[in-house]
């Protein structure tokens, strides 16, 4: 069990990719603290994936620094340490560039960029105090480096997040804390179903940019998170890697099967 004795905190873990990461790290032997703003869904997830000895849940809004600080404190109180932090919670708003209001901008950037920034800070502070290093994984997106004006706030937040990853990696390397990012392509979760993919046309558009020919599964992101959080990735820090079915490196498009 590669994470036995380790404690992992995962935000946005009530469903989707966060939940898959929680299940994977749990299966790899970690005790996990799962956090989400959706208390009801979080309670269901806890009941479905673990027991009080290995799973603890905490309701929090990652866009509030005090909630994030309290999350880390609660994790330490419950399980004694924080060794892996996965800043996964995120939202997307699909809208025209000129329709984006100040409120929309603050909302998306608050959850997707400010949230992980203070998540990194709080986790790193705790890991430094513990004195034996740790790993922080930030959930980015292929949209961090591709321009889709329909999700401008999302793309801006994820672009900024990659710089949170790289600046923090340099800041905390002396403490044996690695900070890495994962930038998925299109993964079939509730976030995507009905928003990013809202019609047969958008599905075909996405697949025309996906050489592997299908959308990803949340577990295929979780396995990358598990690798990055493990000693198998001990010489990696500051990078964001992309489980995206080949989208980022594709020039033009590929044929889509019916
Ligand atoms: P999802 O919408 O299924 O799950 C997100 C979770 O975050 C939900 O449980 C939600 O309640 C929680 N959350 C939202 N706001 C929060 C807040 N303020 N504080 C705490 N929790 C909050 O989304 P999905 O698809 O699982 O995405 C997870 C992460 O992966 C996000 O950061 C997203 O940007 C990223 N991602 C997803 C991709 C996809 O295709 N599904 C592709 C690339 C990145």
For residue 168, name the pLDDT band (cuts at 50, 70, 90).
Answer: very high
| Ligand 1 midpoint to CA 135 (Å) | 20
Atom of ligand 1 nearest to the CA of 90: 32
From the CB of residue 50, how many other CB atoms can be counted at a distance below 10 Å? Answer: 18
Contact predicate 221/17, CB 8 Å: yes
What is the CB neighbour count within 10 angstroms for residue 37?
A: 19
* Residue in 165, 137, 151 with CA at minimum distance from that of residue 108: 151
- The mean pLDDT of 135-160, rounded to a whole number, is 98
Our answer to whether residue 58 is catalytic in this structure is no
* Position in ligand 1 atom list of the atom nearest CA 112: 32
What is the predicted pLDDT for the residue at 230?
98
- Whether pLDDT at 169 is above 90: yes
User: pLDDT tens digits, residue range 33-86?
Assistant: 999 999 999 999 999 999 999 999 999 999 999 999 999 999 999 999 999 999
191 within ligand 1 shell (Cβ under 6 A): yes
Question: Rounded to an integer, what distance in angstroms lies between the CA atom of residue 257 and that of residue 250?
Answer: 17
pLDDT at 198: 87
CA angle centred on 187, ends 96 and 124, rounded to 5° = 90
Q: Could you give the angle at the alpha carbon of 62 between the alpha carbons of 106 and 131, nearest 5°? A: 130
Question: Confidence class of residue 194 from pLDDT cuts 50, 70 and 90?
Answer: confident
> Whats the size of the chain, residue-wise?
258
The residue from 58, 105, 154, 235 that is catalytic is 154
Ligand 1 center to residue 246 CA distance, Å?
21
Give pLDDT tens digits for 201-247: 999 999 999 999 999 999 999 999 999 999 999 999 999 999 999 99
What are the chain's domains? 7-249 (3.40.50.720)
């Amino acid at each position: 069990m590669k994470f036995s004795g380790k404690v992992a905190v995962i935000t946005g873990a009530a469903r989707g990719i966060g939940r898959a990461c929680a299940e994977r790290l749990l299966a790899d032997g970690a005790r996990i603290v799962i956090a989400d703003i959706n208390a009801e869904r979080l309670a269901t997830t806890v009941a479905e994936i673990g027991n009080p000895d290995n799973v603890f849940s905490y309701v929090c809004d990652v866009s509030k620094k005090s909630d994030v600080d309290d999350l880390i404190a609660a994790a330490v109180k419950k399980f004694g340490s924080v060794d892996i932090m996965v800043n996964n919670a995120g939202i997307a708003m699909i809208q025209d560039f000129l329709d984006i209001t100040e409120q929309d901008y603050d909302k998306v950037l608050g959850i997707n960029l400010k949230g992980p920034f203070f998540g990194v800070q709080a986790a790193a502070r705790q890991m430094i105090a513990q004195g034996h290093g740790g790993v922080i994984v930030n959930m980015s997106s292929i949209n961090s480096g591709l321009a889709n004006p329909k999700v401008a706030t999302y793309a801006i937040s994820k672009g900024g997040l990659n710089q949170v990853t790289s600046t923090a990696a340099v800041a905390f390397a002396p403490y044996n804390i690695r900070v890495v990012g994962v930038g998925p392509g299109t993964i079939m979760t509730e976030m995507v179903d009905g928003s990013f993919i809202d019609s047969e046309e958008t599905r075909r558009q996405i697949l025309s940019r996906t050489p592997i020919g299908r959308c990803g599964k949340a577990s295929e992101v979780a396995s990358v998170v598990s690798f990055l959080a493990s000693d198998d990735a001990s010489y990696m820090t500051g990078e964001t890697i992309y489980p995206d079915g080949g989208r980022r490196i594709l020039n033009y498009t590929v044929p889509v099967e019916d």
